[in-house]
Structure formats: structure tokens, C-alpha cells
Chain A
């Protein structure tokens, strides 16, 4: 059986819009991926637990609330604590360039700015998941 790219999409924090996440979810599904959507208001620990249970290649996180500089690092910490740093973390949202650079330095694989075409995310995920070495 051909390898499926599995992606978990999450929306942490308190802002309640998930339209954007749903658009991405549909685009990834149409690109042949298995997309697990977890819903709103997920804590970093819930997100990482879900990612491990679902054995995903990547976690995609949408943050519009401005809390990206706390939430992304918290998810990275949690991945480290669960010995799961091989799971790719990417994200989207309204994130200033400086923060973006900083986050990518910390270990977030990629940040997409709003309005980036979904093809970009698809291409990124295919490549990143393809070169991912499963953790033993």
C-alpha cells in the first residue's frame, strides 16, 4: 500500500474561527492526504497526545489570537517531552516576520502566512513527510 501522508490540524487557544483550518483540511484531503481535525481550544498537550495516537507525519496549527510565541514553543516542548520531535510542526496565522524567523529557528518547520496558496502547503507536506525518518 502506498504511503499516506497523515496530518493533524489543530486550533489552539481561544479564538473561535476555524474557517481557515477547514479550507486547508479540504485542500489536503483533495491532495490525497488523511487529515485529522481536532477542533477548537486544544491545549499543546492535547495536540501532541492526539498527534501521537493518530501517528501523524505532521501537526498543522492555526493561530490567529496573537499567542503564537507561547503556543508554538509549548507544542515543541511537549513533542520533546514525549520523544516525538520527528513529527513535523507547521503553522499558519497572522505572524510578523521577526517572530516567524524566531519560530523557525526554534524548530517549527514552516509558517505559512494568510493568503499563501494551499498548493504551497501541499508541496511542503509531501516533501517533508517523504523525507521523514520514522522514529524507532
Chain B
């Protein structure tokens, strides 16, 4: 098991090994996470989502620099897809990280989804606890960026940045609802390319018509050129304005409470699945029920009910 002594002494290897233990759901890791949980509460978690190639990693790099320049320590989690066929993954987000100090003020960890589909890996949320408890007060999370709308991020973050490019018009149309709801700050990146004004205007219009009227925050749209360093200060400022709004208005706390509630439910679900559902399919019972169903003697609904009655706690 990972030694928490070393972890608390600031040993980076201990942090990295704890994140691996989280990924493998090693025995006892929940106990460790329970212990460090209170120490992670103070860190701010910011998600960056958007289609592949939009410039998420490049923006993460600039945000990380801005936060360390303001005296923070920054932990970064970058998630990339695992191939469902080979189980392998190419984790390339580090390539965009430039000139970071090598004194421990920045920590970067690439994570493969390992079968999860909501834009993060199952371990990402727990990994934020490890980073937070280790002393990273800002945590940046880059999602996979292949799904339509990657909703996992709202369960792990205090603020979400949605990154689009001038060519994203169609995707804005198709994912309007989900996108508008998850974004606290929107970015149209690659504004050196044609169509960016149009894209930003469309986006503002969409945000206006989708905004929830019970809320005081209307998500701003920032046009950036991440590779040229253009308008990145404005983005940084908008993110900070949102965080301040969220804290002042009580949204921050209520969001955290919701996340905790979901977390408890998901821990319970997993536990029940492991200890209860997984037990049902023993001794080839399922196969014999399927035989009956295929043979026309039963149906999935009756079998479901019968198994439930038989196995319920």
C-alpha cells in the first residue's frame, strides 16, 4: 500500500503511486482516500472540455502558467481515450506543456479512460483528491474530447471551460443543450482563423437563449489564439470572475454538496454491483434462464423480477 507518511512529506513518487493505486482500485485505497479527503477540500477544480484539436491542452498550459505566476500550485489531469480493442492508449497532452518550473509547483498526470465513457476516467475524480491533499490548490482537468457532451466533468469540477473553434458551428447546433448547461466560460480558440466572429456571435446567442433564468451568471465567450498567447489574460480573468461569483452566490457550496451526494450514491452503486449484482450470475443460472426465454417459456421481465426477489438483500 502507498505510504501516506511519504505522501504527507511531499514525496512526489508517493503521490504518483497513490494515483496508480486509485486507477487500479487497489485494496484499501478507499480508506486512504477517506483519510485524505478533508485535506483536499480547499482546492479549486477547473475542467476544460471541447472537441479534439480545439486547443484544450494549449490552453491548459497557459492557465497553469497564469496560476503559478499568481502564487498557486497546479495539478493537471489530462484524460485520453483507451482503445476498446487493444486496451492501449496514446497519451499526448504533455507535448503542449512548455517551460514549467521543475520545482514541484506543477504536476502533470496523463490518464487513460480505461473503459469509462463520460469524458473522464473512473479514477479522475479520486485523483483530484490525491492532488488536492498533496497541496495542489488549483487542479486543471482536461477531458477526452471525443464524446458529444462530456458530462462527467460537472461532477468533478467547480468551474467548466468549454473550448470551441471557428469551425465548431455544427457541433454547437447538435450539442446545444448539453453544452450550454455545462459551460461556465466559453472559449472560441484559433481566432486567427476565419469565421471566429460569427462563431462567437452564434455562441452568445445560444447562451442567451439557453440561460437558466434562476441564475445570475451568463457565461462569457472569450476569443483566444492560444498559440499566439492572445487574449489569454481575458480568459484567466473571466475564470476568476466566475469563481468569485460562484463563491459569493452560494453556487459553489451547493454544487459541492450535489457532487458529494452523487459520489456517495456512486460508491454505493459500485459496492452493490460488486457484492450483489455480480453474485447473481453464478453457476450458469443466467444461461439457463436465457435458454428458457429463447425457448419461449419465459421473458426477461419475469426473470428479472424472480432474480430480484431471490437475491434482494
Map CB proximity to A onto B112-137 as digits: 1 under 8 Å, 0 otherwise: 10100000000000000000000000
By the criterion of a CB under 8 Å from any partner CB, how many residues of chain B are at the interface?
A: 28
Docked-complex contact B88 and A31, CB < 8 angstroms: yes
CA distance A39 to B58 in the complex (A): 14
Task: Tell me if B310 counts as interface (CB < 8 A to partner A).
Answer: no
CA distance A54 to B86 in the complex (A): 21
Task: Tell me if A108 counts as interface (CB < 8 A to partner B).
Answer: no
Docked-complex contact A54 and B110, CB < 8 angstroms: yes
Interface members, chain A 113-130 (any B CB < 8 Å):
none
Docked-complex contact B109 and A35, CB < 8 angstroms: no
Task: Tell me if A46 counts as interface (CB < 8 A to partner B).
Answer: yes
Docked-complex contact A37 and B16, CB < 8 angstroms: no
Q: Which B residues touch A3, using CB under 8 A?
A: 24
Map CB proximity to A onto B72-100 as digits: 1 under 8 Å, 0 otherwise: 00000000001100111111101100000
Residue in B closest to A50 when the chains form the complex, CB atoms = B94
Q: Which B residues touch A52, using CB under 8 A?
A: 12-13, 16
Interface members, chain A 64-89 (any B CB < 8 Å):
82-84
Task: Tell me if B108 counts as interface (CB < 8 A to partner A).
Answer: yes
Most chain A beta-carbon contacts within 10 A, residue among B86, B90, B109: B90
Q: How far is the CB of A123 from chain B (nearest CB, A)?
A: 15
A39 and B88 in contact, given A29-B83, A55-B20 (Cβ under 8 angstroms):
no
Task: Tell me if A14 counts as interface (CB < 8 A to partner B).
Answer: no
Docked-complex contact B95 and A38, CB < 8 angstroms: yes
Q: Which of A1, A35, A82 contacts B25 (CB 8 A)?
A: A1
A25 and B102 in contact, given A53-B107, A53-B109, A55-B17 (Cβ under 8 angstroms):
no
Residue in A closest to B83 when the chains form the complex, CB atoms = A29
Docked-complex contact A34 and B13, CB < 8 angstroms: no
Docked-complex contact B107 and A29, CB < 8 angstroms: no
Task: Tell me if A106 counts as interface (CB < 8 A to partner B).
Answer: no
CA distance A4 to B114 in the complex (A): 10
Most chain B beta-carbon contacts within 10 A, residue among A26, A36, A39, A52: A36
CA distance A136 to B90 in the complex (A): 27
Residue in B closest to A46 when the chains form the complex, CB atoms = B102
Q: Which B residues touch A83, using CB under 8 A?
A: 13
Task: Write 11 A-B pairs (CB below 8 A) sorted by A numbering.
Answer: A1-B114, A4-B114, A26-B90, A32-B86, A36-B94, A39-B95, A50-B94, A54-B110, A55-B13, A55-B109, A82-B13
| A interface residue numbers (CB < 8 A to B) | 1-4, 25-26, 28-39, 45-46, 49-50, 52-55, 82-84, 134-136
The 5 closest A-B pairs by CB, nearest first: A29-B88, A39-B95, A55-B16, A32-B87, A32-B88
